[in-house]
Structure 1
Amino acid sequence: MSDTVVADPKPVLDKPLMHYGRRTLDRMAPGAEQPAYKILGITPLTPHFGAEISGVDLTQPIGEDLAEELRQALLEWKVVFFREQTGFTAEHQLELAGVWGPPEPNPFFPKTEHVGVSRLAKDAKASGNKNIWHSDHSFMVNPALGSVLRAVEVPAAGGDTMWADMGAAYDNLPEDIKERIEDLVAVHDWEASWGALMNDEQKAAFRKNWPQVEHPVVVRHPRSGRRTLYVNEPFTRFIKGLSEAENRDLLDILVLQARIPEFQIRFHWRPDSIAIWDNIATQHYAINDYFPQRRVMERIAIAGVPL
Structure 2
Amino acid sequence: MATAVSSRWEVVDVAPKIGSAIHTDKATLLSGERAKDIREIMERRGVIVFPEINLTDDEQIAFTHTLGTFAHEDGEGAKDGKDSVYPITMDSSINPIADYLKGAFFWHLDGTMSEKPILASIMSARALAPVGGETDFCNTYAAWDELPADEKAQVEDLKVTHAMWRSQLYWKPEPTIAELEAWMARGANTLPLVWKHRSGRQSLVLGATALEVEGMGTVESEKLLVKLRTWATQPQFSYRHTWKLGDMVLWDNTGTMHRALPYDHKSGRLMMRTKLEGEEAFA
TM-based fold match above 0.5: yes
Work out which of the residue numbers 169, 188, 191 in structure 2 matches 1:212.
188
**2-side partners of 1:260 and 1:69: how far apart?**
28
Given that 2:144 and 2:204 are in contact with CA atoms closer than 8 Å, whether structure 1 keeps it comes out as: yes
**2-side partners of 1:174 and 1:157: how far apart?**
38
Q: Give 1:57's aligned amino acid.
A: K
Given that 1:80 and 1:277 are in contact with CA atoms closer than 8 Å, whether structure 2 keeps it comes out as: yes
1:225 matched residue in structure 2: 200
Work out which of the residue numbers 43, 47, 50 in structure 2 matches 1:75.
43
Q: CA 1:262–1:58 in structure 2 vs 1: closer, same or farther (change >3 Å)?
A: farther
Given that 2:71 and 2:275 are in contact with CA atoms closer than 8 Å, whether structure 1 keeps it comes out as: yes
1:249 matched residue in structure 2: 223
Between 266-275 and 107-116, the greater mean CA deviation after superposition: 107-116
Q: Deviations over 1:127-174 (max 9, x none)?
A: 9x7821111122222112110001111134432111011112112323
Given that 1:146 and 1:277 are in contact with CA atoms closer than 8 Å, whether structure 2 keeps it comes out as: yes
**1-side partners of 2:281 and 2:71: how far apart?**
14
Equivalences, count: 264
Q: CA 1:74–1:269 in structure 2 vs 1: closer, same or farther (change >3 Å)?
A: same
Given that 1:67 and 1:99 are in contact with CA atoms closer than 8 Å, whether structure 2 keeps it comes out as: yes
Q: Deviations over 1:46-70 (max 9, x none)?
A: 233101101231686333x311111
**2-side partners of 1:102 and 1:40: how far apart?**
24
Pair 1:51 & 2:20 matched = yes
Helix, strand or coil: the match of 1:247?
helix
**1-side partners of 2:145 and 2:106: how far apart?**
22
**1-side partners of 2:197 and 2:10: how far apart?**
25
Helix, strand or coil: the match of 1:193?
helix
1:295 matched residue in structure 2: 269
Q: CA 1:249–1:203 in structure 2 vs 1: closer, same or farther (change >3 Å)?
A: closer
> What's the TM-score, normalizing by structure 2?
0.80
Given that 2:30 and 2:63 are in contact with CA atoms closer than 8 Å, whether structure 1 keeps it comes out as: no
Q: Considering fraction of residues, name the structure with more helix.
A: 2
Q: Deviations over 1:214-240 (max 9, x none)?
A: 221111234x432111111x2111111
Given that 2:17 and 2:236 are in contact with CA atoms closer than 8 Å, whether structure 1 keeps it comes out as: no
% of aligned pairs identical? 25
1:171 matched residue in structure 2: 145
Q: CA 1:93–1:140 in structure 2 vs 1: closer, same or farther (change >3 Å)?
A: same
> What's the TM-score, normalizing by structure 1?
0.74
Q: CA 1:61–1:245 in structure 2 vs 1: closer, same or farther (change >3 Å)?
A: closer
**2-side partners of 1:69 and 1:56: how far apart?**
15
Q: CA 1:243–1:204 in structure 2 vs 1: closer, same or farther (change >3 Å)?
A: closer
CA shift for structure 1 position 41: 1.4
**2-side partners of 1:271 and 1:280: how far apart?**
27
